[in-house]
Structure 1
Amino acid sequence: MLISLDIRDILIIDRLSLELGPGLNVLTGETGAGKSILLDALGMVLGWKGRADLVRQGAEKGEVTAVFDLPPGHPARAVLDEAGVDPGDELILRRAAHADGRRQAWANDRRVSAEVLRGLSETLVELHGQHDDRGLLNPRGHRALLDAFAGYDLSPLRSLWTAQRQAREALAAAEAQIARARSEEDFLRHAVEELDKLAPQPGEEAQLDAKRRLMQAAGRIREDVARALAALSDEGAEGRMRDASRWLEGAADRAGGRLEEPLAALSRAMIELSEAQAGVESCLEALDFNPAELEAAEERLFAIRALARKHGVAPDDLATHAGGLRARLEALDAGEAGLGRLAGALTAAEADYTLEAGRIGALRRAAAERLDAAMAAELAPLKMERAVFRSVVAPGEPGPEGRDQVTFTVATNPGAPSGPLNRIASGGELSRFLLALKVCLTGGGQGLTMIFDEIDRGVGGATADAVGRRLQALALGAQVLVVTHSPQVAALGRHHWRVQKAVVDEVTLSTVVPLSERERVEEIARMISGDRVTDAAREAARALIGA
């Protein structure tokens, strides 16, 4: 509920504080007194799109503060939590507009964006008038209004729509992947066959390169290695060292121990010599190769390097790369089975969605009949008993909330063609259709402050009285703010304010005055008779208030 509205330096308002209450709040005043300015100011603090030049001429900035009661569980609390604002028991919205075009906004003294204000607005205030295109007159919102009237749960249908979309996306992704793989199938099969045939192993390239270098050098070094082996053999160093050892052993007994160390050193040298000889023999054997073996090693080495260049990988990574290509080929071969499984999942998801969408469609058609009956009951007291309201449920584009399109249509007279609500009804008729719809759709209040901007325009007499009584009924247990020119509507208000203009120091200013009971009689009498208030008008005003 809107508790208060404080306005500073907005258009022709310099200072204004308005205390509102529950029930039916009525604002009256002569044309041009500034009633629409109050809505402009409220729209500014709620982030609505509106006129840019709101700052009063001569002022540096204008400011609007709105205070709302925020009971536990109010939907605005979720918006505030998401914005990081402490909700508290009251919500104080404040917005400043500077003359240079800058705007700043606060919620409970925390800076917030205009987007947050608009999110809060949807949970706090609902505006209705003849030019309302935010809900009742907008066919795009009629399905949501009918769903809210019926009160069924759409979350299973939304979940099934999501599951269907995900299944469709999974199938499309798999088909795209297989299509890409098919475009390179020939390359994959040739590459895998080529790699499998060569079967390169990690480290093999380096081994082949070393072997090739060794065989290339063998012809040049083999003669020197053979000569060295001969020098180390029996005819060379080994034989002479054995002779030296035999001669020294024969003389050792007579040398008084002086030859023991030389003999030990000679023994160690012979062991080292034997190891050297074995190594040289091994090298000589390695250098003894078949020229065809060098050709084979070079051929394989060059083949490995060529494949590495072809696939853009290091030679040691060829085996891993072959595994990756083989996996892609196997995925392609198994793709048909995978596509069949995904297509089956999509078919099942579509069937589930279709079944639930059909169930919701049946509920919508039943709800449409109930809404049409409720509207007929509401239109009769509004002197439109001959009008026909129909909620048309027709096939529409599938979506998360079903496959139905809902349009509110009217025929204002029997036999007259029906059509969209905002095209068929005249100004006065449209006001009453909107009011009847709001009464039917509200269903016990939603914690919103409902504002009706001259929704009673174009009606009078008993019809205006009926409009007022529907507004009064709508305000039971809720808060309704009505801007009206109808004395019948004004007389039913629980709280009454008059909007008036005055010229102060050659500056036109607008203000809002709360009316006492006596002042209410005078204001309603003015609304009845015009500028010259008569005693008869006063009596009529008292009769309306007391009715």
Structure 2
Amino acid sequence: MLRALEIRDMLLIDRLELAFQPGLNVLTGETGAGKSILLDCLGFVLGWRGRAELVRAGAAQGEVTAVFDLAPGHPARAVLEEAGLEPGEELILRRVNSTDGRKTAWVNDRRTSGEVLRALSDTLVELHGQHDDRGLLNPRGHRALLDAFAGSDTGVVRAAWGAAQGARKALAAAEAALAEMRAEEDYLRHAVGELDALDPQPGEEAELDARRRLMQGAARIREDVARAFQALGPEGAEGLMGDAARWLDGAADKAEGALDEAIGALGRAITELGEAAQGVERALDTLSFDPHELERVEERLFAIRGLARKHGVQADDLGGFADDLRTRLQALDGGAANIGTLRGAVDKAEAGYDAAATALSETRREAAGRLDTAIAAELAPLKMERAHFETVLSAGEAGPEGRDQVEFTVATNPGAPSGPLNRIASGGELSRFLLALKVCLARGQAGQTLIFDEIDRGVGGATADAVGRRLARLAEGAQILVVTHSPQVAARGAHHWRVAKHVSGGMTTSTVTALDETARLDEVARMLSGENITEAAREAARALLSD
């Protein structure tokens, strides 16, 4: 509920403080007194787009502050939380307009943007008038209004739509991945076959390289090692030392011990020589290899290194790389089955959406009939019993809110073609259509301040009285602000303000005054008779106010 509005140096207003109340608040005054200025200022602090020049002439800046009471669970609380602002029982909006066009806004003394103000305004205030393009006259909002009237649970359809979208997205991703894998199928099958045929093992490349180097070295040194073995053998050192040992042994008996030391040393030398010969023989065995084996080792080593370079991996990682390729090939081979599963999930999700959307469409059609009946009942007291209102449902593009397009259409006379509200109805008719609509649609929409800007224009007498009664009924348990020229409407107000224009010192200003019972009687009388208030006008005003 709008509790207070404070305006400083805006348009024709110098300083103004208003304290609004629950129920029906009426603002009256002569044409041009500045009633629309109040709405311009309220729209400014709510972030609405309006006049470009708002600062009062001679002032450096203009400022508007609006104070709202927020009940627990009010939708504005969610907007505040999303914007990172702390919600409380009181919401204070303040916006400043400088003469250079800069605008600065605060919410509860924290700087904020015009976008946040507009998001808050959608939950705080609803404006209705002959040029209303934000509310009932905007066909884009008719579906939501019908759902609110029907009490439809659109969450089921939104969830079903999300599930269907998710299933379609998963299928599309799987199909794209499968197409990508199929594009490289030949490569995968060839690469896996090549790797499986070679079957490289971790550490094998280093082992083959060492074996190759050993065989390459053996080919160069084996000839020298063989010559050394021959020199140590029976035809070489071993034979000569054996001959020397025999000769010394034959002479030892006659040498009287002079050869004993030499014979011992020679025995030891022969033993060492044998060990050396054995070592050289073993080396010869080691250095012995089949020349074709070197070719085989080199061929495998080069094949392993070639595959590693080809695939850009280390030789020891070829096994793991082959496993990855096999996994991708298995995914390719199993892709068709997976696509089938995902298509089944899409069919199931779309069937779920279809069922939910169909049920919602049925609910909307039933609610549309009830709404049309309710509007017809409201139009009769407004002297529009010959007019026809119809909620038209048509097939639209499927989406999270279902697949229905909803538009409110009217025909003002029997046999006349139906059409959109803002194209068919005249000014006075449009006002009454909007009022009838709001009376029917406002049920259960507590928390918003509803503003009707001269919605009674073009009507008078009994019709204006019917408008006033409907507004009073709409204000039960809610807050309504009405800018009106109709005494019948003004008389139904629970709270009454008069807007007046004054000229002082060459400066024009507008003032707003809360009226007590006496002043209110005079204001209603003025609305009935004009500037010269007669006693007869007062009696008529008294009758209206007491009704």
TM-score by length of 2: 0.89
Q: 1:236 to 1:375 in 2, by over 3 A?
A: farther
Q: Give the match for residue 254 of structure 1.
A: none
Alignment of 1:101-500 (within 5 A): 101-226=101-226, 283-500=283-500
In 2 relative to 1, CA 309–38 (structure 1 residues): closer, same or farther, beyond 3 Å?
A: same
SS at match of 2:18: strand
Structure 1 residues 544 and 318, CA, compared in 2 at 3 Å: closer, same or farther?
Answer: same
Structure-2 residue corresponding to 1:8: 8
Give 1:291's aligned amino acid. P
Q: What is the Cα deviation at residue 483 of structure 1?
A: 0.9
Q: Deviations 1:16-61 (Å, cap 9, x if unpaired)?
A: 1011011110111222222222112111222222233222233222
Q: Do the aligned partners of residues 219 and 411 (structure 1) sit closer, same or farther apart at CA in structure 2, a change above 3 Å counting? A: same
Say which is worse superposed, 450-459 or 86-95, in terms of deviation: 86-95
**Residues of 1 paired with 2:30 and 2:390: CA distance?**
37
Among all aligned residue pairs of Structure 1 and Structure 2, give the percentage whose two residues are the same amino acid.
69
Q: Which residue identity is paired with 1:117?
A: L
Aligned to 1:52: 52
Cα gap change, 1:380 to 1:208, in 2 (>3 Å): same
In the aligned structure 1, how far is the partner of 2:277 from the partner of 2:420?
110
- Displacement of 1:403 in angstroms is 1.8
Counterpart for residue 513 of structure 2: 513
Q: Distance in 2 between matches of 1:69 and 1:363?
A: 34
**1:25 maps to what in 2?**
25
Aligned residues: 523
Are the counterparts in 1 of residues 126 and 135 from structure 2 also a CA contact under 8 Å? no
Cα distance in 2, alignment partners of residues 470 and 283 from structure 1: 118
Counterpart residue number, 1:535: 535
- What is the CA-CA distance between 1:115 and the residue it aligns to? 2.4
Structure 2: distance between partners of 1:228 and 1:531: 142
Secondary structure at the aligned position of 2:493 is classed as: coil
Distance between the aligned counterparts of 1:174 and 1:350, measured in 2?
18
* Secondary structure in 2 matching 1:360: helix
- Aligned partner of 2:257 in structure 1 is none
Distance in 2 between the 1:496 and 1:222 partners? 122
- What code does the residue aligned with 1:56 have? R
Q: Which moved more, 1:59-68 or 1:70-79?
A: 70-79
Partner of 1:84: 84
Q: Counterpart amino acid of 1:37?
A: I
Structure 1 unmatched ranges of 5 or more: 248-258
Distance in 1 separating the partners of 2:109 and 2:278: 94
Please say if residues 127 and 135 of structure 2, whose CA atoms lie closer than 8 Å, have aligned partners that are also in contact. Answer: no
- Partner of 2:403, secondary structure, is strand
SS of residue in 1 equivalent to 2:289 = coil
CA distance in 2, matches of 1:448, 1:279: 107
Alignment of 1:73 onto 2:64: no
Structural mapping, 1:24-43, within 5 Å? 24-43=24-43
CA RMSD of aligned residues (A): 2.8
- How far residue 283 of structure 1 moved from its aligned partner, in angstroms, is 4.9
Larger Rg: 2
Match of 2:525 in 1: 525
How far did residue 486 of structure 1 move? Answer: 1.4
- Inter-partner Cα distance in structure 2 for 1:231 and 1:368: 118
**For residue 88 of structure 1, what is the amino acid of its counterpart?**
G
Distance 2:431 2:530 in 1: 23
1:210 Cα offset (Å):
2.5
Deviation at 1:516, TM superposition (A): 2.0
The 2-side partners of 1:418 and 1:292 are apart by 99
Partner Cα separation in structure 1 for residue 516 and residue 278 of structure 2? 126
Q: Kindly state the Cα deviation for residue 80 of structure 1 after the two structures are TM-superposed.
A: 2.3
Rounded to whole Å, the distance in 2 between the matches of 1:188 and 1:90 is 67
Describe the superposition over 1:312-331 as per-residue Cα deviations: whole angstroms up to 9, x where unpaired: 22222222222111111111
The residue type paired with residue 381 of structure 2 is P
Q: Within 1, Cα distance between the matches of 2:278 and 2:55?
A: 106
* Secondary structure of the corresponding residue to residue 58 of structure 1: coil
Q: Which amino acid is the alignment partner of residue 211 of structure 1?
A: R
Distance 1:541 1:307 in 2: 103
CA–CA distance in 2 between the matches of 1:7 and 1:401?
41
Moved more, 454-463 or 91-100: 91-100
Q: Is the 8 A contact 2:25 2:482 kept in 1?
A: yes
Partner of 1:252: none
- Cα pair distance change 1:444/1:160, threshold 3 Å: closer
Tell me which moved more, 475-484 or 181-190: 181-190
Deviation at 1:193, TM superposition (A): 1.0
Matched-pair contact (CA < 8 Å) for 1:445–1:477:
no
TM-score (norm 1): 0.89
Deviation for aligned residue 1:515:
1.5
- List structure 1 runs of 4+ shifted beyond 6 angstroms: 228-237, 276-280
CA contact (8 A) 1:411 1:418 kept: yes
